[in-house]
Structure 1
Amino acid sequence: MKKAKIYIPNKNPMQSGLGKTNKWILEFETNNPTENPLMGWESSDDTFTELKLEFSSKELAVEYAKKNKIDAEIIEPRKRKTVKKSYADNFLK
């Protein structure tokens, strides 16, 4: 049985926007990773590891995994902490 994880990707730390963070990703885990002797990279003969599937909701991703007999681990997104600040707070310390 294939193993996969279902998650929402993190926000790009180099950008301030939240683009591409509303899709759920189903990503397969690597089976039997080996080290490439020439370059030292991790490699595998499993082509499923190169596949990332995008879904508009978590329910669709879970349904796809069940339908295709994929053992999926769901990673729930963390809530962002938002601190409301005022410009005047810079001068009150």
Structure 2
Amino acid sequence: MPSVRIYQRPKNAMQSGKARTDRWVVEFEPGEAKRADPLTGWAGSGDTREQVRLSFASLEAAKAYAEREGLPFTVTPAPAKTLKLQAYADNFR
């Protein structure tokens, strides 16, 4: 039986926006190890569930989906949001 991981996306470090950080993602755990393709050298596997990512508006909706489908799940809590308060003058100390 495949297991899933439920998590909330962290904020993108390269941008100041917080788009899609309120969504919860259901992602399947890899079913088999990746192996190198002999012709191209790219890593891949025959497990297509690895490509599926489902997005939900709330944690409860994501949990309800996993329970309805009979999938064991683990919930990774959202990372704590910390603010680094800094004044412009601190750049010149």
Residue identity (%): 36
Q: How many residues align?
A: 92
Query: Match for residue 12 of structure 1?
Result: 12
Cα gap change, 1:39/1:11 in structure 2, threshold over 3 Å: closer, same or farther?
Answer: farther
* SS of residue paired to 2:61: helix
For 2:79 and 2:6, locate their aligned partners in 1 and report how far apart those are by CA, in whole Å: 14
Q: Is 1:23 the counterpart of 2:16 in the alignment? A: no
> What do the CA deviations read for 1:40-70 (whole angstroms, capped 9, x no partner)?
3321212111110000001110110011011
Structure 1 residue ranges without an equivalent (≥5): none
Structure 2 matches for 1:43-82, cutoff 5 A? 43-82=44-83
CA RMSD of aligned residues (A): 1.7
Contact 1:33–1:42 (CA under 8 A) maintained in structure 2: no
- Matched to 2:80, the amino acid is K
For 1:71 and 1:40, locate their aligned partners in 2 and report how far apart those are by CA, in whole Å: 33
TM-score (norm. length: structure 1)? 0.84
TM-score (norm. length: structure 2)? 0.84
